[in-house]
Amino acid sequence: MSSLLHRLPTHVVRIGSQSAVPREEEGFDLPALAKKMWLPAFAMGLMAVAAGVVAGVIQATSGNAARVAQIAAWNPGLLFLGIGFLLSAVTFTLARILGELRDGGTSVQQSLGEHALMLKRPWSGYAFPPAMMMGLMTLIATFGLGFLQAAWLDNRPADAADIAAWSGPLRFAGVALIFTSVVFALVTIVKSLHFQADRLTQIADERQ
């Protein structure tokens, strides 16, 4: 994550109730990364969910009790992982929207002959990428644990039962983290919209 941290801005100004920095001092371009990542995340999510549905059909129609138990052990993790990738695609798309707001605001300010300012990244802008990543890593871990549970069904049934007991809540925790990242991204978008309005109002007031 350290490679994703941008340097601290050296020129911070107040626009309305929010802080702003020059466009050239943005640092790491998260929307550019999101533009590349949303489609792979979306595709992996669809494939994982589709694979989970197929595995569920096999589980329902199989007469092999051992196979049914093994699929039941890892298939929920696969489905939750698919949902996690789909929600991550939503988060990446929201980051792209932030980039469009930033670039649109920059274009408007420059067309008016003003120095382009952008919203200084708020706490929510720092919080939503790691929240999404932690949630996705949690779901990947629980997916792997499902296979460990399946491998232990015969020779270590007590340990397999323990994994089943706490991996379920852990899956929901992972999804909750990604939903939290969506909320934080939406909060950042709202702040960005407020900043755009405050900046245009400031420019209009200065020209009166």
Question: For position 115, what pLDDT does the model report?
Answer: 83
Asked if the structure places residue 17 within a domain, the reply is no
pTM of the model: 0.86
Asked if the structure places residue 194 within a domain, the reply is yes
Asked if the structure places residue 10 within a domain, the reply is no
Question: For position 88, what pLDDT does the model report?
Answer: 96
Question: For position 21, what pLDDT does the model report?
Answer: 84
Domain hosting 58: range is 31-206
Q: Which residues of the chain have pLDDT under 70?
A: 1-10, 26-28
Integer Cα distance of 191 and 20 in angstroms: 11
Asked if the structure places residue 5 within a domain, the reply is no
Question: For position 30, what pLDDT does the model report?
Answer: 84
CATH code for position 89? 1.20.120
Asked if the structure places residue 145 within a domain, the reply is yes
Asked if the structure places residue 16 within a domain, the reply is no
What is the number of structural domains in the chain? 1
Question: For position 4, what pLDDT does the model report?
Answer: 37
Asked if the structure places residue 181 within a domain, the reply is yes
Asked if the structure places residue 6 within a domain, the reply is no
Environment class of 95 (CB within 10 Å of its CB; exposed 0-12, middle 13-18, buried 19+)? buried
Question: For position 10, what pLDDT does the model report?
Answer: 52
Question: For position 141, what pLDDT does the model report?
Answer: 96
